[in-house]
Structures are given as C-alpha cells and as structure tokens.
Amino acid sequence: MSLIVSEIAAFVGAALAGTYIAWSVLERIVLVAANEHLTPFASYSSLGVAIVLVPVFALLRRNHHYLRGTRVNGCKLANVYPHRDPILGLDILRISVKALKEYKLLELWDKLLNTYNGTYWFSSTGQWMLITSEPENFKTLLSTRFEDWPMKSLRQQVSILTLGPYSIFAVNGPEWQHTRAMIRPSFVRNQIADLECTDRHVENFLARLPRDGSKFDMDKLLYHFTMDVSTDFMFGYSTSILTSPTKESLEFMTAFDYLLTTSTNRARLGWLALLKPDKKFDEYVKITQQFVDHHVSQALAQEKMERPYIFMNEIIKSGASHREVRDQLLSLILGGRDTSASTMSSLFWVLARRPDVLKKLREEIAELEGRKPTWEELKNLKYLNMVLKETLRLYAAVASNMRTAERDTVLPKGGGPDGQSPLFVPKGTDCRFTTYSLHRRKDYWGDDADEFRPERWETHRPG
C-alpha cells in the first residue's frame, strides 16, 4: 500500500515540476519571440526557478520509475544505506578510503552487507549503486540473465585502459562470444596441464628460497614465478624473472604491475583523466604492448610452429588479427598469473599459521615417496584439493566484481528489509557483487564460515 502512495507522490511531484519547467521555458520563448505573454499568470513563471527544478524533476522521475517498476514486477524495495550525505555519498566514500588504506575494504563491505541483509543501495559519488552477496543474484548476473548485465562503466574502462579494447574482459555480447570461442579450444587442448613447463619454473622458484632461515618476501617471488610460467605457456618464451631476466622482461613486468595497480583509480576519474595526464601510465601501456607485439610478430614470421601447445600459436591459428591476439594475451597473462600468485600467497600465509593443516598435507604428499605426481595423481590428492578449495573460498583472487544493467531488470533477491524478495533494478544501475562476502555467509557455510577448515569439503558440494 505505502508503495503505491510513494509512487503516486513521486509521479505527482515529477509532473508538477516538469509542467512548471516547461511552462517557464515556453513563457520565456514566447516573450522573446513575440514580446507577448503566453498565459495570464506569466509573472509566476521563472526561468531561474525552472533551472533549479531540473535536477529535482530528474530525481522524482527516476524515483517514480523505480517505484513503479517495483510494483509492476511484484518486487519489494531494497535497503538503502543511511547516508548522512545522500547526494554525493561522501560519508561512505570517506570510510571506504580509510578502510582501503588499512587493507580492510572487503571486511567493511562484508560488515555492511551483513547489516543490510545481503543487498543494499548506496550513493557512489552521486550515483546510486547496488551491492550484493546473495548467491541467487550471482547466478542471475552471471548466468540466467547474463544478457541483461554486460560489463560496462568502471569495470570495462579498467580493462580497456590496461588490456585493450578487444580483451575478453572488456567486450560484451557477440564480441564476447567470439572471443570466448577463440580462446576456448586452446584451454581444452592444453588441459591447462603442461606439467613439464610448470615444473621447470617450480625448480627455479625453489632455488630462490633462502636456506639459512632468513626472512624473504614470498609474495614477490610467487608473482615472479607465475610471470615466468604464464609467459612460457603463452608465448613459448619465458620472462625468466627468477633466473636471468632480460631488460625487456623486467620492464614488461614493472609496467604491467604498475598498470594493474593504478588502472582502477585512473578509470574512476573517467573523462577527468584527460585533465590529469599520467605520462608514466601511457608509456607503460606502450611497453606492455610492444613486448607482446614482439612475440606475436616473431610467431607470425615463423614458417611452422614448433612446440605444439603454445597458447599464442593457437590463437593466431584461429585467424585473429594482430591486435586481437595481443589484447587476449595480455588478458590471459593477467587471468593466469595474478590469480595463481595471489591464491598461492594466501595458501602459504595460512600454512604458516596452521601447523595442523601443514602436517596433514605433508602426510598425504609423503605417499608419493618423493616422486613427482602425474596429472591423474595430482587430481587424486584429496586433502591437497580440499586445502586449495578452502583457500579459494576464503581468499578468492577476484574478491569483488561489477556489472551494469543494460535494461530494466529484476534480481531474485535483495527486495524488502530482509532482502528475500525480488528486486527491481532500473536500467543503467551498476551492481557490485562480492565473492569475499558470498564465501563467508554463515547461513550457507555454517557458523564457522570464517574459519579455514578444509574438512568441510568432504561433505560440501558446491551448487
């Protein structure tokens, strides 16, 4: 009932504001053109007031659209963050920046998602945005209503800036289908299991660990290791950062890392970025592109391609253009490298704190009696697999992501104070979905959701 009342109020408000604006503008035009008044009450019209009313009109109209969509689709209104500054949302921006500096942004989002029952609206520097941790909504965004939720706005800009416009992380619709079809066969054929290639780099990695018990930065070494593996896998040429990097390899890695860490902030500036040129950024984009271009040109010049499973060769064979190949390679280095390094880094962080887990893991691996496992054996190391799954659960490398509603649409959850009713989402809405929170939901994982407990995977079957 109250929904209809608010809807009518918003409609009447928008109609009144719109009429007043139109009337004032017409009065003005007629006065200038014919030096006459349009209506007898002309003295009450005012262009100044009309201009002030424009944003009010826009706001009421949008509000009416949301309320009406909610009613027509049998939805309920979602919770709204209780802003002290509902116009620009600077209050939530302030606590977010503070949390980000303390490396606690994901924890803050998680806390708020729990408070507002899994889904809520907030103002992101003036734009209303949704955030959710509901499993049903994830499924809708990424599968059942995939077409309604393309990658747009910030999410797309970041990818275009760093990886290029053809990147699988930047395209939508038919272009996405096309790119996916291009990459897919290489994944299948390689079975992502070129163990020999990985093994060479594992040896290099182990050789870099100090034997005298001194402290070292494992995170850094893991990022070097995965850069070496992924370039080897992609180009058939490794950057060899761990052993004997060339100047170009080091430059490439430095540039790539800089782009990844700064691109989000750069994309956030939007068109303002034009006012704040970043020479280093532009130069580093060139460096990464040149590095990849060099290898693509070499491969193209080759008569026959020697090593059978080189990702780049597979993509080239699919007939993609040089630029497409480049953008895909950069994307896959990002996709294959940072995710593995980050996951392993989290894994060792946990193992350092959990001697019980480490002991069990060692016992299982001891069954191999020092042999290197085959692909089959690797898959059958049950405890290792559970430990990896548990690491991916608590420390998902892509902890949060975003999509934008291409049209008016409905999410299955998030409506009503308890967040359990369907939610109407107007076209143009950005929706953030956080895997970090999804993977910590107590209603789904149990009261020990925050705890690292590999044994939960003995019974748990991901749905």
Q: Catalog residues that contact ligand NAG under the rule CB under 6 A.
A: 79, 115-117, 417-418
Q: How far apart (Å, rounded) are the C-alpha atoms in residues 188 and 194? A: 12
Q: In the structure encoding, which two tokens stand for residue 29, read together?
A: 């035009």
Residue identified by tokens 């359990």 is 420
Q: Which is nearer to ligand NAG, 120 or 452 (CB)?
A: 120
Q: Which is nearer to ligand NAG, 185 or 417 (CB)?
A: 417
Q: Which is nearer to ligand NAG, 6 or 385 (CB)?
A: 6
Q: How far apart (Å, rounded) are the C-alpha atoms in residues 330 and 23? A: 55
Distances (CA, A) of 65 to 6, 125, 141, 268, 426: 11, 21, 21, 27, 8
Cβ proximity of 386 and 458 under 8 Å: yes
Q: Which is nearer to ligand NAG, 417 or 446 (CB)?
A: 417
**Shortest Å, Cβ 76 to ligand NAG:** 11
Cβ within 8 Å of residue 43, ≥6 positions away:
none
Single-letter amino acid, residue 123: S
Q: How far apart (Å, rounded) are the C-alpha atoms in residues 307 and 297? A: 17
**Shortest Å, Cβ 134 to ligand NAG:** 13
**Shortest Å, Cβ 121 to ligand NAG:** 12
**Shortest Å, Cβ 440 to ligand NAG:** 17
Give me the residue whose beta carbon is nearest to ligand NAG.
417
**Shortest Å, Cβ 419 to ligand NAG:** 7
Q: Which is nearer to ligand NAG, 335 or 415 (CB)?
A: 415
**Shortest Å, Cβ 444 to ligand NAG:** 15
CA angle 398, 383, 233 (to 5 degrees): 50
Q: Which is nearer to ligand NAG, 415 or 454 (CB)?
A: 415
**Shortest Å, Cβ 77 to ligand NAG:** 11
Q: How far apart (Å, rounded) are the C-alpha atoms in residues 90 and 14? A: 26
Q: Which is nearer to ligand NAG, 190 or 421 (CB)?
A: 421
Cα torsion angle, 198, 201, 207, 210, sign: negative
